[in-house]
Structure 1
Amino acid sequence: MSDATSLKRKAAEAAFAELEEGMNIGIGTGSTAEAFVRVLSEHVAAGFAITGVATSERTEALCRELGVSTKTLDELPILDVTVDGADEVDHDLRLIKGGGGALLREKIVAFSSARMIVIADSSKKVQTLGAFPLPIEVNGFGLTSTFMAIRRLTETLGLEGEIVLRKSGDKPFITDGGHLILDASFGRIPDPEALSAALATIPGIVEHGLFLNLASMAILAGPDGIEMLNA
Protein backbone atom coordinates (compact mmCIF):
# COMPACT_ATOMS: atom_id res chain seq x y z
CA MET A 1 0.00 0.00 0.00
CA SER A 2 1.45 3.37 -1.03
CA ASP A 3 1.77 6.21 1.48
CA ALA A 4 -1.04 8.15 -0.24
CA THR A 5 -3.32 5.12 -0.24
CA SER A 6 -2.53 4.47 3.42
CA LEU A 7 -3.38 8.06 4.39
CA LYS A 8 -6.68 7.93 2.52
CA ARG A 9 -7.62 4.74 4.31
CA LYS A 10 -6.74 6.23 7.70
CA ALA A 11 -8.96 9.25 6.98
CA ALA A 12 -11.73 6.90 5.84
CA GLU A 13 -11.47 4.83 9.01
CA ALA A 14 -11.66 7.97 11.14
CA ALA A 15 -14.79 9.03 9.25
CA PHE A 16 -16.39 5.65 9.81
CA ALA A 17 -15.90 6.14 13.55
CA GLU A 18 -18.26 9.14 13.29
CA LEU A 19 -21.11 7.00 11.94
CA GLU A 20 -23.93 5.23 13.74
CA GLU A 21 -25.73 2.12 12.62
CA GLY A 22 -28.93 2.74 10.69
CA MET A 23 -27.78 6.07 9.22
CA ASN A 24 -28.58 7.22 5.71
CA ILE A 25 -25.25 8.30 4.25
CA GLY A 26 -24.27 10.35 1.22
CA ILE A 27 -21.20 8.76 -0.36
CA GLY A 28 -18.83 10.93 -2.33
CA THR A 29 -16.77 10.47 -5.47
CA GLY A 30 -13.03 10.25 -6.02
CA SER A 31 -10.11 8.21 -4.78
CA THR A 32 -10.49 9.16 -1.10
CA ALA A 33 -14.24 8.57 -1.19
CA GLU A 34 -13.53 5.18 -2.77
CA ALA A 35 -11.27 4.37 0.18
CA PHE A 36 -14.24 5.18 2.42
CA VAL A 37 -16.51 2.85 0.43
CA ARG A 38 -14.00 0.04 0.90
CA VAL A 39 -13.78 0.64 4.65
CA LEU A 40 -17.56 0.90 4.87
CA SER A 41 -18.05 -2.31 2.91
CA GLU A 42 -15.89 -4.26 5.35
CA HIS A 43 -18.13 -3.16 8.24
CA VAL A 44 -21.30 -3.79 6.22
CA ALA A 45 -20.09 -7.33 5.54
CA ALA A 46 -19.70 -7.76 9.29
CA GLY A 47 -23.31 -6.67 9.88
CA PHE A 48 -23.17 -2.86 10.16
CA ALA A 49 -26.42 -1.59 8.65
CA ILE A 50 -26.51 1.66 6.66
CA THR A 51 -28.06 2.87 3.43
CA GLY A 52 -26.04 5.00 1.05
CA VAL A 53 -26.81 7.55 -1.63
CA ALA A 54 -24.06 7.69 -4.24
CA THR A 55 -22.96 10.99 -5.75
CA SER A 56 -21.94 9.49 -9.10
CA GLU A 57 -22.44 6.51 -11.33
CA ARG A 58 -18.84 5.56 -10.57
CA THR A 59 -19.49 5.44 -6.82
CA GLU A 60 -22.80 3.65 -7.36
CA ALA A 61 -21.01 0.93 -9.31
CA LEU A 62 -18.36 0.49 -6.58
CA CYS A 63 -21.01 0.29 -3.84
CA ARG A 64 -22.85 -2.36 -5.83
CA GLU A 65 -19.63 -4.31 -6.39
CA LEU A 66 -18.72 -4.22 -2.68
CA GLY A 67 -22.18 -4.93 -1.30
CA VAL A 68 -23.02 -1.50 0.13
CA SER A 69 -26.78 -0.92 -0.08
CA THR A 70 -27.80 2.26 -1.92
CA LYS A 71 -30.94 4.15 -2.82
CA THR A 72 -31.56 7.25 -4.89
CA LEU A 73 -31.74 10.71 -3.34
CA ASP A 74 -35.41 10.82 -4.33
CA GLU A 75 -35.95 7.70 -2.21
CA LEU A 76 -33.89 9.16 0.67
CA PRO A 77 -34.16 12.95 0.28
CA ILE A 78 -32.92 13.70 3.81
CA LEU A 79 -29.56 12.26 4.85
CA ASP A 80 -27.83 12.04 8.21
CA VAL A 81 -24.33 12.67 6.91
CA THR A 82 -22.29 12.83 3.71
CA VAL A 83 -18.70 11.61 3.60
CA ASP A 84 -16.71 12.94 0.67
CA GLY A 85 -13.23 14.01 -0.33
CA ALA A 86 -11.97 17.44 -1.39
CA ASP A 87 -9.37 18.84 -3.72
CA GLU A 88 -8.66 21.68 -1.30
CA VAL A 89 -9.87 22.65 2.18
CA ASP A 90 -9.01 25.79 4.13
CA HIS A 91 -9.11 26.54 7.85
CA ASP A 92 -12.73 27.74 7.58
CA LEU A 93 -13.80 24.43 5.99
CA ARG A 94 -14.32 26.06 2.61
CA LEU A 95 -13.67 23.57 -0.16
CA ILE A 96 -12.80 23.20 -3.80
CA LYS A 97 -14.33 20.02 -5.18
CA GLY A 98 -15.01 18.60 -8.60
CA GLY A 99 -11.68 17.20 -9.70
CA GLY A 100 -13.48 13.91 -10.30
CA GLY A 101 -16.22 15.61 -12.29
CA ALA A 102 -19.14 14.92 -9.91
CA LEU A 103 -19.44 18.33 -8.26
CA LEU A 104 -23.13 18.95 -9.08
CA ARG A 105 -24.39 15.70 -7.57
CA GLU A 106 -21.89 16.00 -4.71
CA LYS A 107 -23.23 19.44 -3.81
CA ILE A 108 -26.86 18.35 -4.05
CA VAL A 109 -26.20 15.39 -1.76
CA ALA A 110 -24.16 17.44 0.71
CA PHE A 111 -26.91 20.08 0.84
CA SER A 112 -29.42 17.33 1.62
CA SER A 113 -27.39 16.13 4.61
CA ALA A 114 -27.45 17.18 8.24
CA ARG A 115 -23.64 17.01 8.28
CA MET A 116 -20.81 16.80 5.77
CA ILE A 117 -17.55 15.12 6.76
CA VAL A 118 -14.61 15.78 4.46
CA ILE A 119 -11.83 13.21 4.31
CA ALA A 120 -8.46 13.91 2.71
CA ASP A 121 -4.75 13.61 3.14
CA SER A 122 -3.09 16.57 4.82
CA SER A 123 -1.69 17.92 1.53
CA LYS A 124 -5.20 19.12 0.66
CA LYS A 125 -5.19 21.68 3.49
CA VAL A 126 -4.39 25.18 2.20
CA GLN A 127 -4.24 28.71 3.54
CA THR A 128 -6.01 30.14 0.50
CA LEU A 129 -8.14 28.25 -2.02
CA GLY A 130 -7.27 28.34 -5.69
CA ALA A 131 -4.04 26.47 -6.41
CA PHE A 132 -6.25 23.58 -7.56
CA PRO A 133 -8.19 24.63 -10.67
CA LEU A 134 -11.80 25.51 -9.84
CA PRO A 135 -14.21 23.27 -11.77
CA ILE A 136 -17.22 25.08 -13.22
CA GLU A 137 -19.95 22.83 -14.62
CA VAL A 138 -21.64 24.46 -17.61
CA ASN A 139 -24.37 23.79 -20.12
CA GLY A 140 -23.10 22.90 -23.58
CA PHE A 141 -25.47 25.40 -25.18
CA GLY A 142 -23.80 28.78 -25.51
CA LEU A 143 -20.45 27.50 -24.24
CA THR A 144 -18.42 30.33 -25.80
CA SER A 145 -20.79 32.96 -24.43
CA THR A 146 -20.63 31.40 -20.95
CA PHE A 147 -16.83 31.21 -21.13
CA MET A 148 -16.58 34.90 -22.06
CA ALA A 149 -18.97 35.87 -19.27
CA ILE A 150 -16.86 33.94 -16.73
CA ARG A 151 -13.71 35.60 -18.03
CA ARG A 152 -15.17 39.11 -17.81
CA LEU A 153 -16.67 38.56 -14.38
CA THR A 154 -13.61 37.00 -12.79
CA GLU A 155 -11.38 39.76 -14.12
CA THR A 156 -13.54 42.31 -12.27
CA LEU A 157 -12.73 40.35 -9.10
CA GLY A 158 -9.00 40.51 -9.84
CA LEU A 159 -8.82 36.83 -10.76
CA GLU A 160 -6.65 35.87 -13.70
CA GLY A 161 -5.41 32.59 -15.08
CA GLU A 162 -6.22 30.05 -17.73
CA ILE A 163 -9.75 28.70 -18.10
CA VAL A 164 -9.88 25.51 -20.15
CA LEU A 165 -12.48 23.00 -21.23
CA ARG A 166 -11.88 19.68 -19.50
CA LYS A 167 -11.15 16.85 -21.91
CA SER A 168 -11.38 13.07 -21.71
CA GLY A 169 -8.85 12.01 -24.27
CA ASP A 170 -9.54 14.02 -27.41
CA LYS A 171 -13.19 14.69 -26.54
CA PRO A 172 -14.85 17.00 -24.00
CA PHE A 173 -15.41 15.45 -20.57
CA ILE A 174 -19.13 14.88 -20.00
CA THR A 175 -20.54 14.79 -16.47
CA ASP A 176 -23.14 12.30 -15.27
CA GLY A 177 -25.68 15.07 -15.81
CA GLY A 178 -24.63 15.56 -19.43
CA HIS A 179 -22.79 18.85 -18.89
CA LEU A 180 -19.29 20.15 -19.59
CA ILE A 181 -16.64 21.40 -17.15
CA LEU A 182 -14.43 24.46 -17.40
CA ASP A 183 -11.38 24.35 -15.13
CA ALA A 184 -10.30 27.80 -13.95
CA SER A 185 -6.69 28.11 -12.74
CA PHE A 186 -6.88 31.27 -10.63
CA GLY A 187 -3.95 30.41 -8.37
CA ARG A 188 -5.50 32.23 -5.41
CA ILE A 189 -9.16 32.95 -4.55
CA PRO A 190 -8.98 35.52 -1.70
CA ASP A 191 -12.77 35.90 -1.43
CA PRO A 192 -14.52 32.60 -2.26
CA GLU A 193 -17.92 33.96 -1.17
CA ALA A 194 -17.72 36.86 -3.63
CA LEU A 195 -16.70 34.54 -6.45
CA SER A 196 -19.47 32.08 -5.63
CA ALA A 197 -22.10 34.82 -5.65
CA ALA A 198 -20.78 36.23 -8.91
CA LEU A 199 -20.73 32.90 -10.72
CA ALA A 200 -24.34 32.32 -9.69
CA THR A 201 -25.37 35.27 -11.90
CA ILE A 202 -24.25 33.58 -15.15
CA PRO A 203 -27.14 31.54 -16.64
CA GLY A 204 -24.92 29.05 -18.49
CA ILE A 205 -23.28 27.87 -15.26
CA VAL A 206 -24.97 24.79 -13.81
CA GLU A 207 -22.84 24.70 -10.63
CA HIS A 208 -19.30 25.39 -9.45
CA GLY A 209 -16.83 23.61 -7.20
CA LEU A 210 -16.73 26.09 -4.33
CA PHE A 211 -18.39 24.30 -1.41
CA LEU A 212 -19.09 26.96 1.19
CA ASN A 213 -20.94 26.51 4.50
CA LEU A 214 -21.47 22.81 3.81
CA ALA A 215 -18.68 20.94 5.60
CA SER A 216 -19.00 20.51 9.37
CA MET A 217 -15.83 18.48 9.86
CA ALA A 218 -12.63 17.72 7.96
CA ILE A 219 -10.52 14.68 8.76
CA LEU A 220 -7.01 15.12 7.41
CA ALA A 221 -4.56 12.23 7.53
CA GLY A 222 -0.86 13.03 7.52
CA PRO A 223 2.45 11.39 8.42
CA ASP A 224 2.04 12.59 12.02
CA GLY A 225 -1.52 11.31 12.43
CA ILE A 226 -5.07 12.59 12.06
CA GLU A 227 -6.00 16.28 12.24
CA MET A 228 -9.64 17.20 12.83
CA LEU A 229 -11.06 20.54 11.72
CA ASN A 230 -14.51 21.45 13.00
CA ALA A 231 -16.90 24.20 11.93
Structure 2
Amino acid sequence: MLHKINLENILFLDIETVPETASFNELSEEKKILWEDKTQYQRKEEYTPEEFYDRAGIWAEFGKIVCISVGFFNYKNEERSFRITTFSGEEKQLFKDFSELLEGHFFQPYHLLCAHNGKEFDFPFIARRMLIHELPLPFKLNLFGKKPWEVPHLDTLELWKFGDYKHFTSLKLLTNILGIPSPKDDISGSDVCTVFYEEKDPQRIIAYCEKDVVAIAQIILKFRQEKLLEEAEVISV
Protein backbone atom coordinates (compact mmCIF):
# COMPACT_ATOMS: atom_id res chain seq x y z
CA MET A 1 0.00 0.00 0.00
CA LEU A 2 2.81 2.43 0.88
CA HIS A 3 4.33 1.93 -2.57
CA LYS A 4 1.12 3.14 -4.20
CA ILE A 5 1.30 6.57 -2.56
CA ASN A 6 2.75 9.35 -4.70
CA LEU A 7 5.56 10.80 -2.59
CA GLU A 8 4.78 14.28 -3.91
CA ASN A 9 1.42 14.06 -2.13
CA ILE A 10 2.98 13.75 1.33
CA LEU A 11 3.86 16.71 3.55
CA PHE A 12 6.45 15.59 6.09
CA LEU A 13 6.59 17.58 9.31
CA ASP A 14 8.01 17.87 12.80
CA ILE A 15 7.40 20.33 15.63
CA GLU A 16 9.51 21.58 18.52
CA THR A 17 7.83 22.61 21.75
CA VAL A 18 8.80 24.32 25.01
CA PRO A 19 7.00 25.20 28.26
CA GLU A 20 4.73 28.22 27.80
CA THR A 21 6.85 30.29 30.21
CA ALA A 22 10.54 30.24 30.99
CA SER A 23 9.96 29.18 34.60
CA PHE A 24 7.30 27.68 36.84
CA ASN A 25 7.14 30.88 38.89
CA GLU A 26 5.91 32.85 35.87
CA LEU A 27 2.67 30.85 35.80
CA SER A 28 -0.45 32.25 37.41
CA GLU A 29 -1.34 30.78 40.80
CA GLU A 30 -4.28 28.95 39.24
CA LYS A 31 -2.10 27.52 36.47
CA LYS A 32 0.46 26.32 39.04
CA ILE A 33 -2.26 24.32 40.79
CA LEU A 34 -3.53 22.94 37.48
CA TRP A 35 0.02 21.89 36.57
CA GLU A 36 0.42 20.14 39.90
CA ASP A 37 -2.86 18.27 39.37
CA LYS A 38 -2.08 17.40 35.75
CA THR A 39 1.32 15.87 36.52
CA GLN A 40 0.73 14.21 39.87
CA TYR A 41 0.91 10.68 38.48
CA GLN A 42 3.93 11.36 36.27
CA ARG A 43 5.86 13.11 39.05
CA LYS A 44 4.82 10.76 41.87
CA GLU A 45 6.91 11.82 44.87
CA GLU A 46 10.18 12.13 43.00
CA TYR A 47 9.76 15.73 41.84
CA THR A 48 8.01 18.86 42.99
CA PRO A 49 5.76 20.59 40.42
CA GLU A 50 8.45 23.24 39.99
CA GLU A 51 11.22 20.68 39.43
CA PHE A 52 9.07 18.89 36.84
CA TYR A 53 8.18 22.05 34.92
CA ASP A 54 10.99 21.73 32.37
CA ARG A 55 8.91 18.90 30.84
CA ALA A 56 5.82 21.08 30.36
CA GLY A 57 6.48 21.32 26.64
CA ILE A 58 5.00 17.87 26.00
CA TRP A 59 1.51 19.02 27.05
CA ALA A 60 -0.39 21.40 24.77
CA GLU A 61 -2.15 22.90 27.79
CA PHE A 62 1.16 24.00 29.33
CA GLY A 63 3.50 24.24 26.35
CA LYS A 64 3.79 26.02 23.03
CA ILE A 65 5.23 25.37 19.59
CA VAL A 66 8.33 27.33 18.63
CA CYS A 67 8.65 25.95 15.11
CA ILE A 68 7.01 23.67 12.56
CA SER A 69 9.35 22.31 9.89
CA VAL A 70 7.90 20.77 6.73
CA GLY A 71 9.31 19.03 3.70
CA PHE A 72 8.03 17.58 0.44
CA PHE A 73 9.36 15.68 -2.54
CA ASN A 74 9.58 17.23 -5.98
CA TYR A 75 10.28 15.34 -9.20
CA LYS A 76 11.18 17.35 -12.27
CA ASN A 77 12.89 16.16 -15.44
CA GLU A 78 13.57 12.82 -13.75
CA GLU A 79 15.46 14.59 -10.96
CA ARG A 80 14.41 14.26 -7.35
CA SER A 81 14.62 16.93 -4.66
CA PHE A 82 13.31 17.33 -1.14
CA ARG A 83 12.29 20.89 -0.33
CA ILE A 84 12.18 21.96 3.28
CA THR A 85 11.05 25.09 5.11
CA THR A 86 10.23 26.14 8.66
CA PHE A 87 7.53 28.29 10.25
CA SER A 88 8.78 29.94 13.43
CA GLY A 89 8.33 32.98 15.62
CA GLU A 90 5.17 34.03 17.44
CA GLU A 91 2.99 30.94 17.81
CA LYS A 92 -0.30 32.30 16.50
CA GLN A 93 1.34 33.70 13.37
CA LEU A 94 3.26 30.51 12.61
CA PHE A 95 -0.06 28.64 12.75
CA LYS A 96 -1.56 31.07 10.25
CA ASP A 97 1.39 30.58 7.91
CA PHE A 98 1.26 26.80 8.31
CA SER A 99 -2.49 26.77 7.66
CA GLU A 100 -1.98 28.83 4.51
CA LEU A 101 0.40 26.16 3.21
CA LEU A 102 -2.05 23.35 4.00
CA GLU A 103 -5.10 25.08 2.58
CA GLY A 104 -3.27 26.32 -0.48
CA HIS A 105 -1.17 23.32 -1.48
CA PHE A 106 -2.02 20.21 0.56
CA PHE A 107 -5.81 20.27 0.71
CA GLN A 108 -6.79 17.53 -1.75
CA PRO A 109 -8.20 14.20 -0.46
CA TYR A 110 -5.07 12.37 -1.64
CA HIS A 111 -2.71 14.64 0.30
CA LEU A 112 -1.24 13.21 3.51
CA LEU A 113 0.61 14.57 6.54
CA CYS A 114 3.47 12.43 7.84
CA ALA A 115 5.37 12.59 11.14
CA HIS A 116 7.07 10.25 13.61
CA ASN A 117 4.64 9.62 16.47
CA GLY A 118 2.54 12.29 14.79
CA LYS A 119 -0.80 10.73 15.66
CA GLU A 120 0.04 10.77 19.36
CA PHE A 121 1.95 14.03 19.51
CA ASP A 122 2.50 16.42 16.57
CA PHE A 123 -0.96 16.44 14.99
CA PRO A 124 -3.05 16.71 18.19
CA PHE A 125 -0.59 19.21 19.70
CA ILE A 126 -0.93 21.53 16.71
CA ALA A 127 -4.73 21.20 16.70
CA ARG A 128 -5.06 21.89 20.42
CA ARG A 129 -2.80 24.93 20.31
CA MET A 130 -4.67 26.32 17.31
CA LEU A 131 -7.96 26.04 19.18
CA ILE A 132 -6.40 27.75 22.20
CA HIS A 133 -5.51 30.63 19.87
CA GLU A 134 -9.09 30.59 18.50
CA LEU A 135 -7.91 29.70 15.00
CA PRO A 136 -9.89 27.50 12.58
CA LEU A 137 -8.46 24.04 12.07
CA PRO A 138 -7.18 23.23 8.57
CA PHE A 139 -9.10 20.38 6.93
CA LYS A 140 -6.14 18.01 7.33
CA LEU A 141 -6.17 18.50 11.12
CA ASN A 142 -9.91 18.62 11.70
CA LEU A 143 -10.67 15.02 12.63
CA PHE A 144 -14.12 15.54 14.18
CA GLY A 145 -16.47 12.87 12.85
CA LYS A 146 -13.84 11.16 10.68
CA LYS A 147 -13.56 7.39 10.62
CA PRO A 148 -10.05 5.94 11.23
CA TRP A 149 -9.53 5.16 7.54
CA GLU A 150 -10.51 8.72 6.62
CA VAL A 151 -7.76 10.33 8.70
CA PRO A 152 -5.18 11.77 6.22
CA HIS A 153 -2.16 11.06 8.39
CA LEU A 154 0.87 8.80 8.07
CA ASP A 155 2.94 7.95 11.13
CA THR A 156 6.34 6.30 10.76
CA LEU A 157 6.17 5.02 14.34
CA GLU A 158 2.80 3.40 13.64
CA LEU A 159 4.11 1.86 10.42
CA TRP A 160 7.06 0.40 12.31
CA LYS A 161 4.80 -1.06 15.01
CA PHE A 162 3.09 -3.39 12.52
CA GLY A 163 0.06 -3.52 14.79
CA ASP A 164 2.00 -3.88 18.04
CA TYR A 165 0.51 -1.08 20.15
CA LYS A 166 2.85 -1.70 23.10
CA HIS A 167 5.95 -0.93 21.08
CA PHE A 168 7.65 2.49 21.04
CA THR A 169 10.73 3.24 18.96
CA SER A 170 12.33 6.68 18.98
CA LEU A 171 13.26 8.43 15.75
CA LYS A 172 16.92 8.21 16.75
CA LEU A 173 16.76 4.45 17.27
CA LEU A 174 14.75 3.83 14.10
CA THR A 175 17.18 5.77 11.90
CA ASN A 176 20.08 3.90 13.49
CA ILE A 177 18.76 0.41 12.84
CA LEU A 178 17.69 1.33 9.30
CA GLY A 179 21.11 2.73 8.43
CA ILE A 180 19.91 6.32 8.06
CA PRO A 181 22.20 9.20 9.12
CA SER A 182 21.12 10.31 12.60
CA PRO A 183 19.36 13.68 12.87
CA LYS A 184 20.43 13.94 16.53
CA ASP A 185 23.98 15.17 15.95
CA ASP A 186 23.68 18.45 17.86
CA ILE A 187 20.87 18.70 20.40
CA SER A 188 18.06 16.42 21.52
CA GLY A 189 14.45 17.12 22.43
CA SER A 190 15.35 17.57 26.08
CA ASP A 191 17.73 20.42 25.14
CA VAL A 192 15.19 22.52 23.23
CA CYS A 193 13.86 24.33 26.31
CA THR A 194 17.37 25.39 27.39
CA VAL A 195 18.36 26.44 23.87
CA PHE A 196 15.17 28.50 23.50
CA TYR A 197 14.95 30.24 26.88
CA GLU A 198 18.55 30.40 28.05
CA GLU A 199 20.67 30.40 24.90
CA LYS A 200 17.97 32.23 22.91
CA ASP A 201 19.07 30.46 19.74
CA PRO A 202 15.95 29.61 17.68
CA GLN A 203 18.02 28.92 14.55
CA ARG A 204 19.70 26.02 16.31
CA ILE A 205 16.27 24.58 17.12
CA ILE A 206 15.11 25.09 13.53
CA ALA A 207 18.16 23.25 12.18
CA TYR A 208 17.44 20.38 14.57
CA CYS A 209 13.77 20.26 13.58
CA GLU A 210 14.54 20.28 9.85
CA LYS A 211 16.96 17.37 10.26
CA ASP A 212 14.13 15.39 11.86
CA VAL A 213 11.89 16.09 8.87
CA VAL A 214 14.55 14.79 6.48
CA ALA A 215 14.97 11.71 8.68
CA ILE A 216 11.22 10.99 8.56
CA ALA A 217 11.27 11.22 4.77
CA GLN A 218 14.29 8.89 4.69
CA ILE A 219 12.37 6.33 6.76
CA ILE A 220 9.51 6.34 4.26
CA LEU A 221 12.02 5.82 1.44
CA LYS A 222 13.56 2.95 3.39
CA PHE A 223 10.14 1.35 3.94
CA ARG A 224 9.55 1.60 0.19
CA GLN A 225 13.05 0.19 -0.44
CA GLU A 226 14.04 3.22 -2.47
CA LYS A 227 17.33 5.10 -2.60
CA LEU A 228 17.91 7.45 0.33
CA LEU A 229 18.16 11.19 -0.17
CA GLU A 230 21.60 12.60 -0.73
CA GLU A 231 22.62 15.90 0.84
CA ALA A 232 22.54 17.70 -2.51
CA GLU A 233 18.89 16.71 -2.98
CA VAL A 234 17.75 18.51 0.18
CA ILE A 235 16.92 22.15 -0.58
CA SER A 236 15.90 24.84 1.90
CA VAL A 237 13.20 27.16 0.55
TM range (shorter): under 0.3
**Larger RCO (alpha carbons 8 Å, 6+ apart):** 2
> Normalising by the residue count of structure 2, what TM-score does the alignment of the two structures yield?
0.22
> Normalising by the residue count of structure 1, what TM-score does the alignment of the two structures yield?
0.23
The structure where helix makes up a greater share of residues is 2
